[in-house]
A and B are shown apart, each in its own frame.
Chain A
């Protein structure tokens, strides 16, 4: 199977400007050398803590951000070289859903106008059909068509997220990047939205890139999972493999840290000490080494590359075959 989307050594750096002249004094290495492939029909999860670059990666993959360097291919075509009409047509095939349905819906537009907008922008149907299409979309996401004339503020958080999902589905996309789509919702509503996204995937044969900080949601929803830390993928694997057999000490800590329902009151033992360092000046070598419980001398010299340790399971850690630890003189 050939990949729907593949990224090579993708980087997105943001300049930090200070002083009167707004000179660039530093760079945030939000995404710092990510390569990945997304297969048609799959759900690839991106997981990690704040500042790991998962949202920036998602936005860069759909060209909401222009990458600093690297390449993106969509169905074998150079996505970054597309201009004009070809780019517009590509944008119909790639859509995004955001975390905050309050911020992503224009408060001055009715639901009918919001859902009619994609058809207008892309001239996808005659103007008189727009309302009919909007009505159908609302029903697809489980909302009453009578809501067409209402404004976003009249809806609950869950309903608003349904509206933004409906908008993303308007032009029948192939790939949807969902950035924390259920994080702002209550648990009972979260389950409804996850089920809806699953139904839409089955109905429209969608491919998802699903971004979340919540490992339980990732485990439930995704087929494959990429774990990010400070702008890089540190481990990627099919989800069963990742959750049963995590190799990277960071992935292990992350899974360990999730509070378990029904575990019973216990003496809390934090899985990790310390905080995520700044992406402006990430630690040398493996970025995780200052917090890593298994660090060796040499982990702070060179960044370990991703190495396949099992079918489809790649990990960037010297403990797992990323070559000899630089300068340590031993092979783990």
Chain B
């Protein structure tokens, strides 16, 4: 069961801005096994989306992938020729987004868009691909798939559009799915339906899934392991229950404390003071130092790197919270 599908090593993505280069992703590493889900959490600007776009090689200037490797079954995606990568996108690696219109073309029918992709990647005829598309639309729970096949994206509700995008992304049975906040814009009852769908399809296709979200509740319920990011760097990575029950990085701890939970009674939320520094003004040393209640001398001098503290549990901190 622990067959590693995806291995990201020391990924680094730089944006060349007028004010100089900034590292939006700085030395991120992780593995995802077949059929497993890695959740990546963090606040706006932490680099979780840039990580995903980098893995897909969808970074455009002024951004540039400046280091690292992305191994899919041992093959480095970052060193493939672009045409080869295009073949892989959609067939071996797929991505779904928060806003389905990122992936859907508004002037083409759902069916046409699905057919194009299926014909290209699976080498099927139009007739066969139509069969396949209808099967996928049905699988994702779209009522009246034949009608929806002929519909334009705007004719569908938000939840249905999300399902159509998922049908399209998974129509060629990728080995690896990147889900970038796929339920963030949805109502909570629809969110549950989409999460169930992703989970069901994952079981069926044995995909490795990288699930990006800012919602720790969603992560808790669907991920096997979690990577916490802050200002482009990794803070902590652990199996989900371990991260939720016994977090060690002061940022993870603070993040978990600062969210309101149903049934927890306290007049004030323990907020994290200050704001995330912009990438231009990152201090030397640990990027969290200015908001960290456990900051020590060493944090200002050098940047902590990820080290293993238990099987599957890694941490980048010089003064971690005690293990309870």
Please give the residue numbers on chain A whose beta carbons come within 8 Å of chain B beta carbons, in ascending order.
49-50, 156-159, 186-192, 194-195, 198, 213-217, 219-221, 243, 253-255, 257-273, 275-276
Contacts and interface: CB of A to CB of B under 8 A. Distances in A.
Nearest to A216: B260
Contacts of A220: 260-261, 264, 269
B260 A194 contact: yes
Interface centre among B220, B224, B245, B269 (most CB of A within 10 A): B269
A93 to B, nearest CB: 26
B262 interface: yes
B141 to A, nearest CB: 9
A258 B188 contact: yes
Contact of A270 (B192, B214, B244, B264): B192
B268 interface: yes
Contacts of A257: 188-189, 191-192
B51 interface: no
Interface in B93-148: none
A265 B242 CA distance: 12
A261 B261 contact: yes
A114 B218 CA distance: 38
B270 A191 contact: yes
A270 B215 contact: no
A190 B272 CA distance: 10
Contact of B262 (A194, A221, A258, A269): A258
Nearest to A156: B275
Contacts of A268: 192, 195-196, 199, 221-222
Interface string B249-287: 000001110111111100111111101100000000000
Given A243-B263, A257-B188, A187 B221 contact: no
Contacts of A269: 192, 196
Interface in B181-212: 187-193, 195-196, 199
Contacts of A216: 217, 259-262
Nearest to A221: B260
A217 B260 CA distance: 6
Contacts of A276: 187
A186 B181 CA distance: 14
A213 B196 contact: no
B33 to A, nearest CB: 14
A49 B189 contact: yes
A194 B271 CA distance: 9
B260 A253 contact: no
Interface centre among A49, A262, A264 (most CB of B within 10 A): A262
Sorted from nearest, which 4 A-B pairs have the closest CB atoms?
Answer: A259-B217, A220-B260, A191-B271, A268-B196
Interface in B131-187: 157, 159-160, 187
A271 B269 contact: no
Given A257-B189, A261-B256, A270-B196, A159 B263 contact: no
Interface of B: 37, 43-44, 157, 159-160, 187-193, 195-196, 199, 214-218, 220-224, 240-241, 244-245, 254-256, 258-264, 267-273, 275-276
Nearest to B143: A274
A221 B262 CA distance: 11
A156 B272 CA distance: 15
A190 B261 CA distance: 13
Contact of B241 (A214, A255, A259, A264): A264
Contacts of A156: 275
Contact of B217 (A194, A255, A260, A271): A260
B271 A260 contact: no
Contact of B245 (A159, A194, A217, A262): A262
B218 A188 contact: no
12 contacts: A49-B187, A158-B275, A159-B275, A186-B43, A188-B43, A217-B260, A254-B188, A255-B262, A264-B241, A265-B223, A268-B222, A275-B190
A219 B192 contact: no
A110 B206 CA distance: 54
Given A191-B271, A192-B271, A194-B260, A262 B192 contact: no
A272 B222 contact: no
A213 B188 contact: yes
A262 B187 contact: no
Contacts of A192: 271-273
A243 B261 CA distance: 12
A220 to B, nearest CB: 4
B221 A259 contact: yes
Nearest to A52: B187
A243 B160 CA distance: 30
Contact of A259 (B157, B218, B264): B218
Contacts of B264: 220
Contacts of A258: 188, 217, 262
A243 B195 contact: no
B265 to A, nearest CB: 9
Contacts of B259: 187, 190-191, 216, 261
A84 B224 CA distance: 61
B271 A265 contact: no
